Structure 1
Amino acid sequence: MNVYKKTSNAVVSALLIGFLGALLSATMPGLYLEEEWGLPWLFKARGGIASPRDVIIVTLDKSSPEQLHLPENPEKWPRSVYARLIETLNRYDPAVIALNIYFGEDREPSNDTKLAKAIAAGSNVILSNYLKQYTFPSADPAKAFTYEKVIDPIPVLAHAALGAAPFPLPKTVTTVKQFWTFKQSAGGISTFPVVVFECFVLKRAYPEILRLLRQIDPALQATLPPTFDQLAAKASVFGIATQIRQAFAAQSLPQFNDLLARANYPQETLRLLRSWFALAKGADNRYFNHYGKAGTITTLPFHQVLEDKRLNPKLFRHKVILIGYSENLEPEKLQGFYTDFSGDISATLSSTEIVATAAANLIDGSGIRPLPLQTQCALVLFWSFLLFGVCRVCTYRLATVLVILLTAGYAAFAYFRFTADHLWLPLCVPLLLQTPAVAAVMIFSYLQKNKQDQQNLHKTLSYYLPDNVVSAIANQARLEAMPHYGELVHGVCMATDAGRYTTLSETMDPLTLNALLNRYYGAMFPLVKHHHGIISDVIGDAMLALWATPSEESQHKINACHAALEIKTAVDHFNRSQPYQLPTRLGLHFGEMHLGNVGAMEHFEYRAVGDIVNTAVRIEGLNKLLGTQILVSASVIEGLPGFFTREVGAFVLKGKTQPVELFELIAPLDQLDPVWPPLAEAFSDALKLFQSHRWAEALNAFLDIDRQHPGDGPTLFYIQYLRQRPPETGLLDQPARIELGSPINQLHL
């Protein structure tokens, strides 16, 4: 019985310390400890590593202005200098040239033109842009709306380059540790290192990628030209890269590895494709694997490359060339970044070295990989039980030696995994917290062993943990149980989008555009709030609004429909009141979604997630094709009194497999224009003919409607659809539907 109690106490103690370690590992304090103590120790124990072979920096350092007789401030250099540099580099056949320099202002037109021609000549240049945050003011700061917008380089350069991307970094209080791969708060855009990496892979392995796509996405492969140069000339490389990444993400790891094994690609190509697959399946943020102190990555001064002297002809061939400012250019401005290798201010890394590190990590697949949270929790629980097991079975002296050896062995194993395959095992929680706690329990237990009998010893062990620690655990447990991660809700999602916004953004200065958007949303937001909705997301000219609760309520549908109609009226009035037109389209869908925090430890956003949201956005986009303003799904309008609608057909939306029955929301019944009932009745009859596969009769019916009601968008859509691409005659036992993945996408109304 005493043995049973002693074992029970050991198990309870192991559980308590293990649970405390697991809980700490899952919270911000635990992450902070590991980032600020564990990770730096691993970096310093490992030391610097070899410079990446595929990335080279050309730096605008302090000596270049002197050698080239240029102003000290590179921002005042003529852009023809950059054009000469790109032309010089392209003689060495690099894969990608990435300029970590923002060209946001027009300068001397002739020099801008020279730079644009140099950029376009090689079809391999990527430029930098940046994210600017906009906030819609509110009397209550907690209710202010904030969104991020991409600010591109001047058009003549942006159009010449493969594209441009920003490089925002997560906020940090000490050293720079992570970078974003995709910025969800800005619409899920790819960041600068990602586009550099993806363009590099496309340049180096484009034929192999086409062969691989033939297996996993033949439809996408059929749309791509046979060479990368043709791709760069006719399409958006960034857009194609996104499609390829999505095709990769649709594969499981075993499937992908099996495809690569059967493809028999060169090892270098396999390395790049596996890195791209890891990017597609990974999180939106990555930990840097720093190569060492400043200057570790191969770096050449700007003037040396421009003068084209003493350069190895193979130095740049098929590599990524990053061009940017050096930290030593103006050290008094403290513009460098501190890393775990920084000993003092002179050892900080420039922004260009940070970008190069991120790009090289993606290319090599060498980013630091923290253990998944569940694995960390399991590890600290196992460590607690292992130490307690040793203490329970062995004598005091032997247990002390074994605990020391186990601790050293764990540290050595963590160092080995970090060095060999960049896996980051937790150190602070198991070694600095759990091991001392277990050691304290062990010492206390053995000191009491000779003074008390087994019953007192069991009692002492059961009371070892202080009350405040137990209270803290209990409080943390209650906090973990709180539904702060969100909940499943039922309701309506409304997606809106403003037409002509892209054109306006190209022609208007940012301040004027910002003021216009403020007035535009000022007409919409109050209507959502008035009808008891919430704004879930705002990105540029697009908005998501929600009406949802845990239980299904029909009132949400009524409120959302009223809000949609009033938004339509308000936006029409807004467009009549000022010279800039923002015609707005709305899409509504009803169902279940998850509403809560989305993000990671460094950043969360409160938003809805689910197929309902995606479908609402797709429905909104269909307005453009149909020439309508408000489209709602059958799940929104079914059984809903007080509104006049007309059915516009069943559509298989892009990316979907099941058709969605859609209706145009026209007006409340008490505000209906008399022209609508006869038009809707005639359209319904024609649509029934279409759904019955009676194509010729349907076309004649729609043509008759067009003669009586010219300009009706859905009528014109069906006329053009039936004329340009008659539907297939199969599946006659089912109502006809329109698949938006078919060539109907080519229609222009």
Structure 2
Amino acid sequence: MARPLRIVVIAILGFLLSTLVNFAFNTENTLGLDTLFKIRGPQTPPDDVVIVAMDETSESALGVGQDLTRWRHLHAGLIRQLQKQAASFIVFDLQFIRPQPSEDQELAATMRAAGNVLVVECVQKFRHGDQDFYGREECSDSNSRPAISREGDTNIQLPEQLVGMRKVLPTSAIADAALDSAPFYLISDASNSSVREVWTFSDALAESPSLPTLLWFYYLQHSGAIPDQGKPLSAGLTAQRRACQSNSTISVSNAVSERQINEVLCEGDSRYLNYYGPPRTLRMESYTDVYEGKVGDLQGKVIFVGRANRQFSPGKSDFFQTPYSDSRTGKMAGVEIMATQFANLLEDSFIEIPAPGWITSSLFGLLIAILLVGFAGWPGIALSLVFALAYASSTVWLFGQRHWWLPVAGPLLIQLPLSWLLSLAWSRYDLMRERARMLAFVRRVFPQWVGMLPATPGQWTENVNVGSANTERDVSGLCLATDIEGYTTIAAQHSPREMWALLNTYYQVLGHPVVSHDGVIADVTGDAMMAVWFDAPATQQRRAACLAALEMATAVASFNLSSSQEPLATRIGLHEGDLTLGSLDAGTSSHYRAIGDTVNIASRIQGVNKYLGTRILASHSIAADLDDIESRPVGKFRVVGRVEPVKLVEIIGVKHGDNAKPNEMHHLFADGLAAFQQGQWTDAARLFHAALARDANDGPSRFYLRKTLECSEMQALEWDGVVVLDGK
């Protein structure tokens, strides 16, 4: 499989599995976000936020117990104490739903006099009309009444699909006396899952702002950051939310950014809370101490009043899991979550998702896949691990410094290991393919070694099937023979060590084109190399051998230019026919060779280059049907040791397109060769002269001109057009 396709497959599979696991188990929240909070640790909350806790100490000291309605006669005194301290705002996270006439009048009068008290509105989520109510504290305990009226038989169950939410307002006396009121609904209240998101506006409740959002806008008005929007502000914010025209209706000072106001009013209805730490991280004062005037330093503070235990007390209601919750810290009170949301608004420090999670996960998986495919095996795994650690470190840093939440659990726990497995599986697959290729090569060239190869890597057996393989094999193939011109003279000028170093580099240059074109180097002796092609269609073998020969000539020319030693002029000959591949035993050693007349003729053809001044010669059949290989006939030769003449062609190069211009010199030479073979010496000499006029360095024209002049001076009794060579 191609590398780009492997990269895409690894990236897509990792992303899909990560997405499915996150969808099924919410891993990015439970493992990702919660872990980031714990790694970052607690942070310092703003000083302006204080919680007055209706805690265990206050319950005992004031004799009110856990029934929240028994505290109501105390709230007026608490408000008066906070007014003496000049608190900025007082927020009651208490639902004043059940009327208490004997106490409500005093409390309402105190609230009205203070002018800075906000109260929470009860939110109920219901199903089946009068069943399955969900709400905080007395909101659910005291108001389980039908949400809709039913006609006819009241025993008929309402459909399951009837699901809704509603607000239950405080008593009219309290609601009228308070500065304003708004709902505060916790998404996961009364459940075991952690509270991570809170509403800024509740679209399901007619675009109502949540109480922390409402308080924040009152705070901005009080500090002069925004102009007075009129009262009650909750109705005005709802109208602006519906119109979403904050840019034209609210002007801001430098104390708060217009961007933040626009985001709160117009962009989404929930935000991820940036918790400052476990329960009781925010400043918390006991209700009793504040009521009795024992607490100072509350001037300008925003006070949240509500139930909040000082000690972990399991089983109590209105306490919720957070990312910091554990068996030691316990759950967090609802009033602390409300105060945390207001503090986040105050500091503009909500947890933000800078880009959709699927984009980040996709890019992570893609980069991991590129590393694993580009650096196969353990190097790729090591590099991907380094990248994953860098990504994890960046994620932790961005979370701590910028409050940015990037996916962690999916990329590191799912995508990375899966990518490793896929990469190793492909490496194993590539190894098995390479082994199969090597085994096929050994079967072709070294069949006597096949019995030693294992069924799987790592299981070498030296004695299995050793005797079952043939020691020789007859094939129809193609031989390529090379030789270095003037090698004896060059060797005489250097030490054996110097020649070894020179030839070692030379044969690496010479052998690469053979291997790259699926050839096999059968023998290297001194200055000569023999390569063979077999077990492939004839046309494919011929093309591969010609291309290898051309690349060898180019590679040797480059090698000679870069070498400080004498140039190694290489001659190449090609011939095809029957051969025998086999092992030749010499004493105690065995040598595998290509044997046969085809090998000898290829070597003789290579030698003809010396006479013609050429570099690559081949028997005529090799280039006969290769349209993309440029060649030219150079005559018929009777080489040493062979009676039958060999018709040869020079391999010139690779053709580039069908519109290549004809070589005029080659045409003149071809006509001269035809005249020479017919014994027309005068015409042949004239044509060879004309060819040399076009290219004075053309070796075949120069050879045949000299041969023509020799023949014209001899009176041959019989002429067959064959050139006889007496030397190799």
* TM-score, normalising length: structure 2: 0.52
Q: For residues 467-510 of structure 1, give each alpha carbon's deviation from its aligned partner in whole angstroms, at most 9, with x where no partner exists.
A: xxxxxxxxxxxxxxxxxxxxxxxxxxxxxxxxxxxxxxxxxxxx
Alpha-carbon spacing, 1:63–1:147, altered in 2? closer, same or farther (3 Å): same
1:70 matched residue in structure 2: 63
Query: Does 1:151 find its partner at 2:143?
Result: no
TM-superposed CA distance for 1:236, in Å, is: 1.6
Tell me what 2:9 maps to: 13
Q: Distance in 2 between matches of 1:73 and 1:419?
A: 38
1:86-165 maps to which residues of 2 (within 5 A)? 86-109=79-102, 111-133=103-125, 135=129, 142=159, 145-165=162-182
Structure 1 residues 368, 454: CA separation in 2 closer, same or farther (over 3 Å shift)?
farther
Letter in 2 for 1:97: I
- 1:367 counterpart = 2:350: yes
Tell me, in whole angstroms, the C-alpha distance in 2 between the residues paired with 1:46 and 1:131: 33
Q: Judging by fraction of residues, say which structure has more helix.
A: 1
Counterpart residue number, 2:340: 357
Q: Check conservation: 1:22, 1:381, Cα contact below 8 A.
A: no
1:181·1:284 contact (CA, 8 Å) conserved in 2? yes
Structure 1: unaligned runs, 5 residues or longer: 211-226, 458-749
Relative to structure 1, is the Cα distance of residues 146 and 174 closer, same or farther in structure 2, using a 3 angstrom cutoff?
Answer: closer
Equivalent residue for 2:212?
A: 193
Structure 1 window deviating more from structure 2 (303-312 vs 155-164): it is 303-312
Tell me how far 1:156 sits from its aligned partner. Answer: 0.9
8 Å contact kept, 1:90–1:122: yes
Give per-residue Cα distances to partners, 1:203-226, cap 9 Å, x unaligned: 223xx423xxxxxxxxxxxxxxxx
1:356 Cα deviation from its structure 2 partner:
1.1
The 3 A distance-change label for structure 1 pair 121 and 38 is same
Shift in Å, 1:306: 1.6
Superposed displacement of residue 331, structure 1 = 2.6
Distance in structure 2 (CA, Å) of the matches to 1:241 and 1:188:
9
Matched, 1:204 2:223: yes
Which residue identity does 2:197 align to in structure 1? Answer: Q
- In 1, distance between residues paired with 2:288 and 2:391? 49
Deviation, 1:89, is 0.9
CA gap 1:426/1:456 in 2 versus in 1, 3 angstroms: farther
Contact 1:60 1:329 in 2 (8 A): no
Residue aligned with 2:166, SS: strand
Q: Given the alignment of the two structures, is residue 304 of structure 1 paired with residue 289 of structure 2, yes or no?
A: yes
Contact 1:245 / 1:276 at 8 angstroms: preserved in 2?
Answer: no
- Per the alignment, residue 379 of structure 1 pairs with 360
**Are residues 127 and 332 of structure 1, via their aligned partners in 2, closer, same or farther at CA, if it must alter by over 3 Å?**
same
Structure 1 residues 7 and 330: alpha-carbon distance in aligned structure 2, compared to 1, 3 A threshold? closer
Cα pair distance change 1:91/1:245, threshold 3 Å: farther
Deviations 1:529-563 (A, max 9, x none): xxxxxxxxxxxxxxxxxxxxxxxxxxxxxxxxxxx
CA shift for structure 1 position 15? 4.6
Say whether the 8 Å CA contact 1:55–1:360 is kept in structure 2: yes
2:274 is paired with a residue of what secondary structure? coil
TM alignment of 1:510-521, pairs within 5 A: none
1:398 to partner: Cα distance: 2.7
Q: Distance in 2 between matches of 1:76 and 1:414?
A: 46
What are the equivalent positions in structure 2 for 1:696-707 lying under 5 Å apart? none
Distance in structure 1 (CA, Å) of the matches to 2:314 and 2:210: 28
For the residue of structure 1 that corresponds to 2:181, the secondary structure is strand
1:139 Cα shift?
Answer: 5.4
Q: Distance in 1 between matches of 2:86 and 2:67?
A: 26
Q: Which letter does structure 2 place at the counterpart of 1:426?
A: P
Residue 321 (1) aligns with residue 303 (2): yes
Shift of 1:166: 2.1
Q: How far did residue 456 of structure 1 move?
A: 8.6
Report the Cα offset of residue 244 of structure 1.
Answer: 5.2
Question: Residue by residue, what CA displacement relative to the aligned partner does 1:658-713 show, whole Å, maximum 9, x if unpaired?
Answer: xxxxxxxxxxxxxxxxxxxxxxxxxxxxxxxxxxxxxxxxxxxxxxxxxxxxxxxx
| Rounded Cα–Cα distance in structure 1 between residues aligned with 2:13 and 2:2 | 17
The reply on whether 1:289 has 2:270 as its aligned counterpart is no
- The one of 233, 236, 240 equivalent to 2:236 is 240
Equivalent residue, structure 2, for 1:680: none
Amino acid across the alignment from 1:276: I
Equivalent pair of 2:246/2:261 in contact (CA under 8 Å): no
Map of 2:410 onto structure 1: 429
C-alpha separation in 2, matches of 1:238 and 1:173: 31
- One-letter amino acid of the counterpart of residue 120, structure 2: S
Instruction: Pick one of 311, 316, 338 that aligns with 1:334.
Output: 316
| Deviations, residues 83-119 of structure 1 (Å, cap 9, x unaligned) | 111111122333321000111122243x322211211
2:185 corresponds to which residue? Answer: 168
C-alpha contact 1:22 1:377 (8 A) present in aligned 2? no
- Given that 1:327 and 1:351 are in contact with CA atoms closer than 8 Å, whether structure 2 keeps it comes out as no
How much does 1:165 deviate?
Answer: 1.9
Alpha carbons of structure 1 residues 249 and 436: separation in structure 2 relative to 1, 3 Å: farther
Letter of the structure 1 residue corresponding to residue 65 of structure 2: E
Superposed displacement of residue 10, structure 1: 1.7
In 1: Cα distance, 2:260 partner to 2:99 partner: 38
Q: Is the 8 A contact 2:207 2:242 kept in 1?
A: no
Q: Distance in 2 between matches of 1:37 and 1:326?
A: 27
Whether 1:278 and 2:272 are equivalent positions in the alignment is: no
Q: Which digits, 9 at most, give the CA deviation of each residue in 1:711-734, with x for residues without a partner? A: xxxxxxxxxxxxxxxxxxxxxxxx
Equivalent residues of 1:115, 1:157 under 8 A apart: yes
Q: 1:415-564 alignment to 2 at 5 Å?
A: 415-453=396-434
Offset of 1:173 from its aligned partner? 4.5
Offset of residue 43 of structure 1:
0.8
Cα separation, 2, equivalents of 1:346 and 1:326: 13
Paired residue secondary structure (2:432): coil
Q: TM-score normalised to the size of structure 1?
A: 0.51
C-alpha distance after superposition, 1:51-82 (max 9, x if no partner): 23331101111112444x43323535463421
For residues 388 and 110 of structure 2, what CA distance do their matches in structure 1 show?
58
| C-alpha deviation, 1:277, in angstroms | 2.5
Higher relative contact order, chain-length normalized (CA < 8 Å, sep 6+): 1
Matched length: 410
Cα gap change, 1:176 to 1:403, in 2 (>3 Å): same
Deviation at 1:23, TM superposition (A): 4.8
Match of 1:406 in 2: 387
Offset of 1:14 from its aligned partner? 3.4
Q: Secondary structure at the match of 1:416?
A: helix
Q: 1:71 to 1:385 in 2, by over 3 A?
A: closer
1:38/1:190 CA distance change after superposition, 3 Å: same
Gaps of 5+ in 2: 130-147, 439-728
Identify if the C-alpha distance between structure 1 residues 8 and 275 changes in structure 2 by more than 3 Å, giving closer, same or farther.
closer
1: distance between equivalents of 2:265 and 2:426? 51
Matched residue, 1:687: none
Structure 1 vs Structure 2 CA RMSD: 3.1
1:56–1:316 Cα contact (<8 Å) kept: no
Q: Deviations over 1:295-323 (max 9, x none)?
A: 100001111112222512xx341x32100
What is the rounded CA distance, in whole Å, between the counterparts of 1:387 and 1:144 in structure 2?
45
Q: AA paired with 1:202?
A: Q
For residues 78 and 443 of structure 1, what CA distance do their matches in structure 2 show? 67
- Shift of residue 449, structure 1, vs aligned partner: 3.7
1:535-614 superposed matches below 5 A: none
Deviations 1:225-246 (A, max 9, x none): xx68xx4xxx322123344556
Question: 1:24–1:429: 8 Å Cα contact kept in structure 2?
Answer: no
Paired position in structure 2 for 1:343: 326
Which amino acid letter does the alignment assign opposite residue 152 of structure 1?
A: L
| 1:451 counterpart SS class | helix
| CA distance in structure 2 between the partners assigned to 1:155 and 1:377 by the alignment | 49
Q: 2: CA distance between counterparts of 1:78 and 1:10?
A: 68
Residue identity opposite 1:6 in structure 2: A
Change (3 A) 1:448 1:22: closer
Match of 2:53? 59
